[in-house]
Structures are given as C-alpha cells and as structure tokens.
Chains A and B, each alone.
Chain A
C-alpha cells in the first residue's frame, strides 16, 4: 500500500541512475521508453513500495524527479491505479 508517489519530468532526465540505485525500497527502474534526447527515464516498477521519502528528488542532479507522501484518502486512489496497471 503506497504511502507516497513520484513525479518525473521526463524531458529533463539524463538516465544517470541515481534515483534507481538509491531508492530505499527499489521502486524505480529505467524504462525502455526514451525522451527526445535518447535517455531512458525511470518509471515506478513497484509503486506500492513508495514511501514518499523523496530521496530520489534529493539525489536527482537534473531536477527531474521528486517524491512526496500521499495524504490518507489518496492512498486508496493510488492503490486502484496501481491495481489497474
């Protein structure tokens, strides 16, 4: 049950891999999609594990990702979205 989620500014990402590596709950992985510069941005491979700690945001040198804690009522919504995927 996800306590948090992230937003990614795809066009800013340079696929350095910091967020993927240092996410404490391994929520992220580099996707097979790519942005206009040819980089593979991350995506939430395990969104339910996100705690919203924003370590990804602290690490990202390109200001391309950040995380936040979800308010209680939105967690149900996030679960629905994750289930549907």
Chain B
C-alpha cells in the first residue's frame, strides 16, 4: 500500500478537539480548508499569524485552528484585532467571524476599522442568520425568510455587505460561496499580499436553521443552489450585488484598490509634526 499523504488541513487543526461542533452540511469547515490552503500556497509565516474571532458558529474557528488565536466577545473581534495589530505590526491579523457578529453588534467597529484602513484580513462567513443561538434574523437575512424571531417571514431590509464595506473604506472586497473553494482560497491568498482593511464575504449554508425553516433542503441542496445561481462578475459595482431569498448571487472580486493604511497615516502625520522627536517602536513589547 502506498503511504497516504497527510491532509494539508491537519497541520492547522487542534486535532485533539475534533470532531468540531458544526452541523452536517454547514459550510464553515469548508472555508477553513480554503483558509489553510491559502496559507500554504502564499507561504504566510505562521508564527506571525494571529486569528481573532467573535461569538457565533463561525467564531468557533478560533478554537479549532492551531495558531495564536483569540475567541473574544460578541461583535468585538475587530477592535481587539486593532489593538493586537497596533501593538505588534509584524503580525498578520485575521478576523474570522460571522455576519451577525461583524455587522449587527460589531457593525460600528467594522465601519471604523475600514474607515481607518487598519491592516486586517476579515473573513466573514455569511449564513444569513444567527445560527449558534437558534436561527434568529440577522442584518443579512433576505426579506420573506422565516427565522426564529420572524416566524411570519422577515420584513427587515438586509445589508449588502460588499457595498457597505466598500463605502466604509475597505481596500479589498470579494464575495464567494462555499461552492467556490478554489476562488475563495485564491482570494484569501490575495488578501495576505495586500496592506489595509481587506474583506471577503463567504456565503455558507446553515442547513439546520436557515435552510430547514425555509424548506430549502439541506447543505448539499444549498451548494447546488450556489452553483446554479452564482454568477462571477469581477469588478462589478458593489451597489449591484445585493442578495435576495432565491435570486442571483453575484460573486467575484469587486474592489482591489490602494490606500495608505492606518499605520502609514499615523507615521506620516507624527513624523511631519514631530520630526526627530517622533519615536516609533517596531513593536510595543513590555519587559
């Protein structure tokens, strides 16, 4: 028998904590494969990689990856990551969290980090719902979808995440689904080559709550739906990529632009004003 090659994802997992808690057909694990593939292919220095998550199903990623990882409070992964990155700019800081965590309770922090162009790589797994707590309406839930807190169908207008994040100032904005594994891995790799606030939305099934309550089948049915209904439109204006309950899903890389990141702005201003008196430390490590 030939010796089996190891699954490349294993080296990144806290294998003693397997199996994970995600449901059959949930796409979060798929995104983790793409993430690890991107790390391998782009040869990111794992020692200097830190992963910060919030609360929710996607937030549990932090506990499963064998990296310096921080499972913080609901909605506050981004400000935690901001402090982490400013204290040690050598770190590559990834924020890996869900749509509710990043855009409802965390919405304010997201727009300000994008505004400042803090050098963070944000992976937002969007299952259009609050999954961990039992399937309540999220700011991304499309209209007419039945949720635990909208038992007669949601009538809240939903956010268009790429539009919002671009408007707030992000320098890299892309959307894929868990069907688009190769494209997602490539996009994540591209984020690591870029400096500034980078954002990738990944649509994922939540078969137990979102799909089941709306009689949309299981995880596989949803993956097939993504395959049938996605259209790749790189460079598409983000105002045109809003989602609906059963409509077209526009995926692709929408924004890839240059802006000085927060650190550059800070350095430029303080150096100009203070000249030689400005002291910048490579990292703020105390004794």
Residues of A within 8 A of B (CB): 5, 7, 11-12, 14-18, 21-22, 39, 55, 57-63, 66, 68, 70-71, 74, 77-78, 81
Chain A residues near B279: list those with CB within 8 A: none
Chain B residues near A63: list those with CB within 8 A: 7, 9-10, 13, 18, 29, 32-33
- Interface residue count for B (Cβ, 8 Å)? 35
Would B220 and A55 count as touching, CB distance under 8 A? no
Would A61 and B29 count as touching, CB distance under 8 A? yes
Chain B residues near A57: list those with CB within 8 A: 7-9, 33
Is B247 positioned at the interface, with any CB of A under 8 Å from its CB? Answer: no
Chain B residues near A60: list those with CB within 8 A: 29-30, 33
How distant is A61 from chain B, measured CB to nearest CB, in Å? 3
Would A18 and B30 count as touching, CB distance under 8 A? yes
Chain A residues near B37: list those with CB within 8 A: 58
Question: Which among B7, B26, B223 has the greatest number of chain A C-beta atoms within 10 A?
Answer: B7
Would B220 and A62 count as touching, CB distance under 8 A? no
How distant is A44 from chain B, measured CB to nearest CB, in Å? 13
B4 and chain A: residue at smallest CB distance: A7
The docked-state distance in angstroms from the alpha carbon of A16 to that of B28 is 13
Residue B24 contacts which of A5, A16, A70, A77 (CB distance < 8 angstroms)? A16
Q: Which 6 A-B pairs have the closest CB atoms?
A: A61-B29, A14-B24, A66-B7, A68-B5, A74-B2, A58-B181
The docked-state distance in angstroms from the alpha carbon of A70 to that of B37 is 20
Chain A residues near B18: list those with CB within 8 A: 12, 63
Is B20 positioned at the interface, with any CB of A under 8 Å from its CB? Answer: yes
Would you mind naming 27 contact pairs between A and B with Cβ atoms under 8 Å apart?
Answer: A5-B2, A7-B7, A11-B19, A12-B18, A14-B23, A15-B24, A16-B25, A16-B220, A17-B219, A18-B25, A18-B30, A39-B24, A57-B8, A59-B181, A61-B25, A61-B29, A61-B30, A61-B178, A62-B19, A62-B22, A62-B29, A63-B9, A63-B10, A63-B33, A66-B8, A77-B2, A81-B1
Chain A residues near B224: list those with CB within 8 A: 21
B218-235 vs A, Cβ < 8 Å mask (1 yes, 0 no): 111001100000000000
A5 and chain B: residue at smallest CB distance: B2
Is B169 positioned at the interface, with any CB of A under 8 Å from its CB? Answer: no
Question: Which among B4, B25, B29 has the greatest number of chain A C-beta atoms within 10 A?
Answer: B29
Chain A residues near B10: list those with CB within 8 A: 63
Would A55 and B29 count as touching, CB distance under 8 A? no
How distant is B64 from chain A, measured CB to nearest CB, in Å? 9
Is B139 positioned at the interface, with any CB of A under 8 Å from its CB? Answer: no
Would A58 and B33 count as touching, CB distance under 8 A? yes
